[in-house]
Amino acid sequence: MLMKFADIVVDITSKQVDRPFTYIIPEELEEAVVPGVRVNVPFGRGNALRTGYVIGLKSRSALPEEKLKPIDSLTEKAVGIDEELVSLAIWLRYRYGGTLYQALSVCTMSRMKVEARKERLLVFTGTDDQLRDQLYKASLKKYKARERLLNAFLENRVILASLASDRLSISASTLKPLLQSGLVVYRTVDTDAAEKGDAGTAGGFGRPEDAPELNSGQKEAVRTVLTSEKPVSVLFGITGSGKTEVYLELIARCLEAGKEAIVLIPEIALTYQTVMRFYRRFGNLISVVHSRLSKGEKYERFEAAREGKIRVMIGPRSALFTPFKNLGLIVIDEFHETAYQSETVPRYDAVETAIKRASFSDARVLLGSATPPAEYYERALRGEFNLIRLTERAVRGAVLPKVQLVDMREELKKKNRSIFSDALREKIREKLDRKEQIMLFLNRRGYSGAVSCRACGLPVTCPHCSIALSYHRNGWLQCHICGFSMPMVKECPECGSGLIGTFGIGTEKVEEMVQEAFPDASVLRMDADTTTGKNGHQEIIRKFQEQEADILIGTQMIVKGHDFKKVTLMGILAADLSLNVPDYRSAERTFQLLVQAEGRAGRDEIPGDCIVQTYLPEHYAIQAAASQDYEGFFEREMVFRNQMNYPPKGHLLSVTLSGADRQEVFQAVHELVRQITAEREDESYLGPAESPLFKAKDMYRYLFYVKSRELSRLLKVKSRLEEIGEALLKDSKIYLSFDS
Ligand code: ADP
Ligand code: ZN
Ligand code: ZN
């Protein structure tokens, strides 16, 4: 299927997307014309050349070919930041689906009128003695918020007011007495002073005296990113190996070169401590965006970036669209995190999108992680990206925790049916007696529909796809990839045991059991229920950090990026539950989660312990996680991916149809598959089947998969599906997503 035609929008004024016109793609431009590219086209009666954006490609045209005009030529590269972001939006739509309007709303912000409000600073004006005196008084009276603020002043006498309220939860009433005493004053930011590098009042741009000298590995990392011909680098470094110091140095170099930088950090790890590290280095040249900002606040910060008043933007994935005019660097920390995938249309992947955006402005991209996704590691090994390794902890003496695997099948044989193995119970007691802190991680990414065996630990999997089957209310087990189904089993197909079923236990239940087993311990719980409210989750973190509790129980949330210095035991309650997720990445996600969880224990001088409870201690993801062996994991994982043609060996396009009329969706999905398979080249089709979430919000969903070696082939299939869908679908909607 040759893409002979292009849909071109001649005039895009930010939100108002004109009707597209169809043009013929001349042969010599076939390669170059892709969505997002700007072209010159003859337009109107006089055929005067006008600039337009290519927004889509088509294999056939509704109008007869003789009525169409050919594209004249390509336009110079985008000249302004707005054009660049529009191009990015068009690419986003092409790559991830949705409408152009949705893509434009993600990439560009419509102009708003905002009051020119200057960022304010809080400055402690007193002496060191006065500061310590205040701290002492605050701690006597247990004024926790005030203590927090004063502690922050101890590190830096100047703090961004927005940072104090956003990230430290400092309220007006906390500030009031300090402001009244005159020890703390408000000052407006003097951006000019900061630009000149006046570190004085603004805490401006400069290297703090206590910043560590980079070690040789870190220096090499900086050199590679700056000088390599390859624009993208993967920084594979264990927790605490000094990745953040590398980011800071690179950003400094980038600013020195007159360019700007974007730093993506998963929202949950965007804590005061993290932001402060950047602030101490770059002062008010940085700004932060996060999801709780109002539209106006976000716009204000983006405008400051456009005007060059701030030059480093830190935030979760949406910070990627900061309108910097001279972008030099994009850093993505913990780039394996699922938070970098948007959950709303267009479901873009921020890592991929960052690489695309960087290519527009010749910026460098640095992807940091202790557990890089297998696809990226493989592409780096193949030489597509630079691969930089940091294999040791940067602080001398800091060691990784001791990890002990506990086989829960053995506990069962000992008639121990509680959620605590004997080993974990003893360790918790020991740590409580020593007044050290404990975290209990309930791995609940487990898909509730998965069925597994308690005797041998294995999930019941699809014979064709090697992923877990899911249980349907009608009593059948089904594969959501290929549609295979069979009646629910009574005995384990592997070992014959009858101890089979769906397992799932909530954090609340765990809390109850902890209280029962350790009545003297004080317990905090962090999950979706306890973190509602504006600062819910920051508040729990703060309490635990300030040692108001001995044990913190929680789901994934507790293992991401927090630094609890006094935690010396991490107990992982059900390590293998996430292996049962019906997703080809379940082993990788399990490995990532476990390594991250293990990294939470013993971050200070006291060595930490980690106990991993599992029904499947022999699984390679669990074995490798216990010995923190990334390479070992990667090798095994690649065998699996290659065998099954999963990425990076092949690519997967999932197509979901959803609609209110079950019969209509059913027929539409089959018709769609019939038409698209008639044009089949090298790709294969799986399904259609009911989607794992078959009925949601009164909408029925069916899905099928398309597999191919080449992503480019799938992109073409996707364009065709959209074309066919347009003619075929009435009330059903089509959703497409790659490799997920
Ligand atoms: P990561 O981002 O990889 O987890 P960090 O950059 O946060 O690692 O570094 C971990 C700790 O090691 C921090 O306390 C940091 O100040 C310290 N550190 C980093 N680099 C060095 C260095 N070259 N020399 C001494 N300490 C360092
Ligand atoms: Zn079994
Ligand atoms: Zn299957």
The CATH number for 721's domain is 3.30.70.600
Same domain, 218 and 331: yes
Do residues 430 and 458 both lie within one domain? no
Rounded distance from Cα 314 to ligand 1 centre (Å): 19
Given 72, 107, 142, which residue is the final one in a domain? 107
Using DSSP's 3-state secondary structure scheme, residue 403 falls into strand
Say yes or no: 373 and 258 in one domain.
yes
528 and 415 co-located in one domain? yes
Please give the single-letter amino acid code of residue 434. Answer: R
Distance CA 399, CA 608 (A): 9
Residue 291 shares a structural domain with residue 386: yes
Cα gap 9→18, rounded to integer Å: 6
Is 540 found in the same domain as 458? Answer: no
pLDDT per residue as tens digits for the range 443-459: 765 455 678 888 888 88
Distance from the alpha carbon of residue 468 to the mean position of ligand 3, in angstroms: 9
Instruction: Tell me what the mean pLDDT of segment 693-718 comes to.
Output: 84
Name the strand (E) or helix (H) holding 663.
Answer: helix 662-677
d(CA 335, CA 317): 11
Q: What is the pLDDT of residue 265?
A: 95
Which of residues 582 and 429 earns the better pLDDT score?
429
- Whether 274 and 142 map to the same domain: the answer is no
Identify the band that residue 237 occupies on the pLDDT scale cut at 50, 70 and 90: very high
Q: What are the backbone dihedrals phi and psi of residue 7, each rounded to the nearest 5 degrees, phi first?
A: -90, 130
Query: Which among 236, 388, 395 is the best mutation to test ligand 1's pocket, defined by most ligand atoms within 8 Å of the CB?
Result: 395
pLDDT of residue 433: 95
Q: What is the pLDDT of residues 14-56, one digit of tens each?
A: 445 567 889 999 998 888 888 888 889 998 788 888 888 888 8
* Cα dihedral 547→552→555→556 (10° resolution): 40
Q: How far apart are CA 352 and CA 340, in angstroms?
A: 10
The domain that holds 605 is classified in CATH as 3.40.50.300
Say if 395 falls within a structural domain: no
Residue 569 forms part of a structural domain: yes
Asked if residue 196 is part of any domain, the answer here is no
Distance 467 CA to ligand 3 centre (A): 7
Q: Tell me how far the alpha carbon of residue 415 is from its chain's centroid.
A: 41
Same domain, 22 and 129: no
Is residue 437 situated within a structural domain?
yes
Domain-ending residue, one of 592, 618, 640: 640
Q: How many residues does the chain have?
A: 740
* Residue 716 vs residues 71, 101, 510: alpha-carbon distances, Å: 20, 21, 49
Distance CA 384, CA 362 (A): 16
Q: Is 699 a pocket residue for ligand 1 (Cβ < 6 Å)?
A: no
> Does residue 649 have a pLDDT over 50?
yes
Cα dihedral across residues 98, 101, 105, 108: positive or negative: positive
414: in domain? yes
Q: Is the CB of 398 under 6 A from ligand 1?
A: no
Domain that holds residue 578: 402-447+503-640
Average pLDDT of the residues in 106-128 = 75
- Worst-scoring range by mean pLDDT, 179-193, 335-349, 576-590, 701-715? 179-193
Does ligand 1 have an atom closer than 6 angstroms to the CB of 218? yes
Q: Would you say 328 and 250 are in contact if contact means Cβ atoms under 8 Å apart?
A: no
Going by pLDDT thresholds of 50, 70 and 90, the confidence category of residue 195 is very low
Does pLDDT of 725 surpass 50? yes
* Of the listed ranges 114-118, 192-196, 207-211, 373-377, the one predicted with least confidence: 192-196
Q: Which of 310, 249, 315 is nearest to 283 (CA)?
A: 310
Least confident of 172-176, 370-374, 420-424, 601-605: 601-605
208 lines ligand 1 (CB under 6 A): no
Same-domain check for residues 61 and 103: yes
Torsion (CA) 658, 664, 667, 671 in degrees, nearest 10: -70
The CATH number of residue 83's host domain is: 3.40.1440.60
| Residue 202 resides in a domain | no
Same domain, 441 and 469: no
- Residue 637's pLDDT is what? 96
Note whether 627 and 661 are same-domain residues.
no
Q: Which atom of ligand 1 is nearest to the CA of 245?
A: 6
Ligand 1 nearest-atom number relative to CA 237: 3
**Residue 219 C-alpha to ligand 1 middle, in angstroms?**
13
Number of domains in the chain: 6
CA 560 to chain centre: 11
At residue 115 the predicted structure's pLDDT band, cuts being 50, 70 and 90, is low
Which of 244, 276, 280 best tests ligand 1's pocket when mutated (most atoms within 8 Å of CB)? 244
Identify which ligand lies nearest to the alpha carbon of 278.
1
For residue 142, being part of any structural domain is answered with: yes
175-200 burial: b if 16+ Cβ within 10 Å, else e: beebeeeebbeeeebbbebbbeeebe
Same domain as 272, residue 172: no
The per-residue pLDDT for range 308-358, each reduced to its tens digit, is 989 999 999 999 999 999 999 999 999 999 999 998 888 899 999 999 999
Question: Of 209 and 65, which is predicted with more confidence?
Answer: 65
| Nearest ligand to the C-alpha atom of residue 499 | 2
Say if 681 falls within a structural domain.
yes
In single-letter form, the type of residue at position 562 comes to: H
What mean pLDDT is reported for the chain? 85
Closest C-alpha to ligand 1, atom 24: 212
Candidate of 213, 214, 220, 245 to mutate for ligand 1, largest count of ligand atoms within 8 Å of Cβ: 245
Among 107, 141, 159, the domain boundary falls at 107
> For the segment 144-193, what is each residue's pLDDT rounded down to a tens digit?
888 888 888 887 788 877 777 776 777 888 888 888 888 898 887 654 44
- Give the integer Cα–Cα distance in Å for 628 and 625: 5
Q: How confident is the model at residue 609 (pLDDT cuts 50, 70, 90)?
A: very high
Ligand 1 centre distance from Cα of residue 370 (Å): 14
